[in-house]
Amino acid sequence: MENVLNIIKDKTLTFEQKVLQLAREAENSINVLNISSDARDFMNRGIICDLFEGNAPYRPRYILPDYKRFMENGSRFLGLKPAENLLEAVNNLLILYKHVPSITSFPVYLGEIDKLLEPYAVDEDEEYVLDIIKLFLIHIDRTLTDSFVHANIGPKATKVGRAILIAERELKNAVPNLTLKYSEDTPRDFALEAVKTGLEASKPYFANHEMFQKDFGDKYGIASCYNGLPIGGGSYTLVRLNLKRLAEISSGIDDFINRVIPYAVKLMTEIINERIRFLVEESNFFESSFLVDEGLILKDRFTAMFGIFGLAECVNILLKVVDKKDKYGHSEEANNLGIEIIEKLKREVDKYNNPYCKITKGKFLLHAQSGISSDIDVSPGCRIPIGDEPEIYEHILQASMFHKYFPSGISDIFAFDSTAKNNLEYVLNIIDGAMKSGLRMFSFYCSDSDLIRITGYLVKKSDMDKLKNGYQALQDTVSLGLESVEKQGLLNRKVRKYD
């Protein structure tokens, strides 16, 4: 009860933030999941982490509604007819967004907004479209106050897509996060426009469209941070495995590969399966949501994500390396061990089946989890530790070795000096090379921007300063960003200069 009182009294929380935190306290006051003592022991020791999903799952972690279906049919439950013009289309989407849940209680996926709105903008004046898009984005930023809210554009150039890029450069809002689905067929001038916006507003980042198509087909979306998932479904849950902690309880490489990994995967799949079981069989989410009733989401299009992090520290511990040249990201031996570990993990995870993950044929998707604010001395996913990054071409080639294993998301973040703004072609050429080398995601920002990419979401430095000085921040993710900056040295990422 002390936590409840502390939340009520906290002057740095807005009313809405207090309501959400109090709701989480209520959920966590009960225990309904049947998890073995061995699995709970791994959770208590920080080896397995459920990412604060709560003790009683009553909604999927990530939901990706079929917004195209909504635009075509409207909604009986919401009393909305299909839009007939751009204003109605924007209004309909904004209404639906308020009713799309997730683990954060905000929608983590807003859809392919350029495709959704383009039919209503084709015959409209560009200036009018830009004005409407600005209001649309401002409304999202001020009402969906969570930086995990995420939208997609591309791969084709559209009038609405261009308006979004121009508006984002001007507004520089933290919400929504934005991904450009980048294809070989994306017009160069449109891609350069996205690079220009990325260096000014730290978004969009580029997703390898061909790579995601190969894994999911055309009907996929990028949600939350870097999460590739099926549209019309999503992910029930994301649980993650701390590979650094796992390495610390092994007696060596052979023991880690042959005993520790299989045992850890067994315990973690137990937790994932139990969370899915309660959500599907007991919470009644799929029996009570109008999203299901109206065909905007289907249970058969949901999967689950098996997350990992701390690969770099894991490898360095197992190899007992000290010198930088021998570490993960710099040594061929270390990089190859990293690949061996991920391939072993994939084989072990694929031994398990869940009947409710039909879209992925009963399998869980590997996910390189990009970190949370409480992580200390452990790197996100498969990333090279901050401060240890090699030159950018070496960094990209090293990262690209791992991206193919993680269809549900993996990322690397590249910070550029402000001089990069003088040559957008330079940055786009790097992105093109990264995609050709096998990089799934290319996330970047300019070091002098007020917006900084934390793990995958965006937070304003100015908002973090306000919160640090005892003032409220509109987005609830500002506190997470501040904690990450203070504990993880995010401002020490290697900055790439254009000379």
In a domain, 258, yes or no: no
Q: Are 386 and 493 in contact (CB under 8 A)?
A: yes
Q: In terms of C-beta distances under 8 Å and separation of at least 24 residues, what long-range contacts does 288-295 make, across chains too? A: 290/75, 290/76, 290/77, 290/78, 290/99, 291/63, 291/65, 291/99, 291/100, 293/77, 294/69, 294/70, 294/73, 294/75, 294/76, 294/77, 295/66, 295/69
In a domain, 404, yes or no: no
Q: Residue 486's pLDDT band (boundaries 50, 70, 90)?
A: confident
Question: What is the per-residue DSSP string for 95-113?
Answer: HHHTT---TTSS-S---BH
Residue 8, number of CB atoms within 10 A of its CB:
11
Q: What is the mean pLDDT of residues 85-109?
A: 97
Q: Are 396 and 437 in contact (CB under 8 A)?
A: yes
53-89 pLDDT, tens digit per residue, is 999 999 999 999 999 999 999 999 999 999 999 999 9
Three-class DSSP category at 452: strand
Q: Residue 481's pLDDT band (boundaries 50, 70, 90)?
A: confident
Q: What is the mean pLDDT of residues 193-214?
A: 97
Averaging pLDDT over each range in 6-10, 289-293, 389-393, which range is the top one?
289-293
Q: Are 238 and 367 in contact (CB under 8 A)?
A: yes
Question: How many structural domains does the chain have?
Answer: 1
Q: What tokens does 10 get?
A: 């906290």
Computed over every residue of the chain, the mean pLDDT equals 94
In a domain, 476, yes or no: no
The confidence score (pLDDT) of residue 270 equals 98
In a domain, 10, yes or no: yes
The confidence score (pLDDT) of residue 454 equals 79
347-382 pLDDT, tens digit per residue, is 999 999 999 999 999 999 999 998 887 888 999 999
Q: Residue 499's pLDDT band (boundaries 50, 70, 90)?
A: low
In this predicted structure, the answer to whether residue 294 has a pLDDT above a threshold of 70 is yes
In a domain, 7, yes or no: yes
Chain CA centroid to CA 343, Å: 22
Model pTM score: 0.94
The confidence score (pLDDT) of residue 447 equals 84
Q: Which domain holds residue 16?
A: 1-30
Considering the chain, what percentage of its residues have pLDDT values greater than 70?
A: 98
In a domain, 5, yes or no: yes
Q: What tokens does 234 get?
A: 């999503």
Q: Residue 281's pLDDT band (boundaries 50, 70, 90)?
A: very high
Task: Give the span between the Cα atoms of 461 and 337, in whole angstroms.
Answer: 37
Return the higher-pLDDT residue of 476 and 284: 284
Question: What is the per-residue DSSP string for 135-171?
Answer: HHHHHHHHHS--TT-EEEE-SS--HHHHHHHHHHHHH
Handedness of CA 179, 182, 186, 189 (dihedral sign): positive
Q: What tokens does 39 get?
A: 């699995």
Q: Where are the beta strands (DSSP E) in 166-301?
A: 177-182, 205-208, 220-223, 227-230, 233-242
Q: Where are the beta strands (DSSP E) in 36-132?
A: 48-49, 62-64
Strands 458-460 and 150-153: unpaired
227-268 pLDDT, tens digit per residue, is 999 999 999 999 999 999 999 999 999 999 999 999 999 999
333-355 pLDDT, tens digit per residue, is 999 999 999 999 999 999 999 99
Three-class DSSP category at 284: coil
In a domain, 2, yes or no: yes
Of 94-98, 304-308, 414-418, the poorest mean pLDDT is in 414-418
136-170 pLDDT, tens digit per residue, is 999 999 999 998 999 999 999 999 999 999 999 99
The confidence score (pLDDT) of residue 179 equals 98
The confidence score (pLDDT) of residue 453 equals 81
In a domain, 23, yes or no: yes
Q: Are 441 and 410 in contact (CB under 8 A)?
A: yes
The confidence score (pLDDT) of residue 498 equals 61
The confidence score (pLDDT) of residue 158 equals 98
Q: Residue 399's pLDDT band (boundaries 50, 70, 90)?
A: very high
